[in-house]
Amino acid sequence: MNNMIQVAVCGAHMSGLPLNSQLTALGGEFVKATHTSPDYQLFKLIGFNPPRPGLLRVLQNGSAIALEIWQMPIENYGKFVAGVPSPLGFGTLTLADGSQVQGFMCEAYATEDAINISHLGGWRNFLTQL
């Protein structure tokens, strides 16, 4: 696995969702489903098609958010990250077990007009509410 990097996805890139093919086209392989530490909030962002969530680390009122860990060849990681549109980006996420992994995050300004869906525990739960 030394030529692979793990990547956390919490929205449209998850298994079976509209942007998952962007991961698999770059050699992405599913590793496991897990949760963040309880230090995050999840928002349904405005203006994305397909719809996308934004994950934001917070100092209070956080929740554990469901996500998936994927691995991809390290040489494809830059191409994957370069295709991520603002206000989304990549950063270091803390998982429920205390480990850390690179994953999708959101710039705080984008959450100001977004819908906080943290209470649902994850993007798939939000999608089932639609």
In this prediction, residues 43-47 reach a mean pLDDT of 96
Would you place residue 26 in the very low, low, confident or very high pLDDT band (cuts 50, 70, 90)? very high
Question: What is the overall mean pLDDT for the chain?
Answer: 96
Contact 26, 121 (CB under 8 A): no
Write out pLDDT tens, residues 101-117.
Answer: 999 999 999 999 999 99
Residue 45 Cα distances to 30, 91, 92, 115, 121, angstroms: 25, 18, 20, 7, 16
Q: How far apart are CA 55 and CA 21, in angstroms?
A: 21
Domains in the chain, CATH or no CATH each: 4-129 (3.10.490.10)
First to last CA, the chain: 38
Which class for 59: exposed (0-12), middle (13-18), buried (19 or more C-beta within 10 A)? exposed
What does the DSSP assignment read for 69-96? EEEEEHHHHHHHHHTPPTTEEEEEEEBT
Would you call 21 exposed, middle or buried from its count of C-beta atoms within 10 A (0-12, 13-18, 19+)?
exposed
pLDDT value at position 130?
82
pTM for the predicted model, two decimal places:
0.94
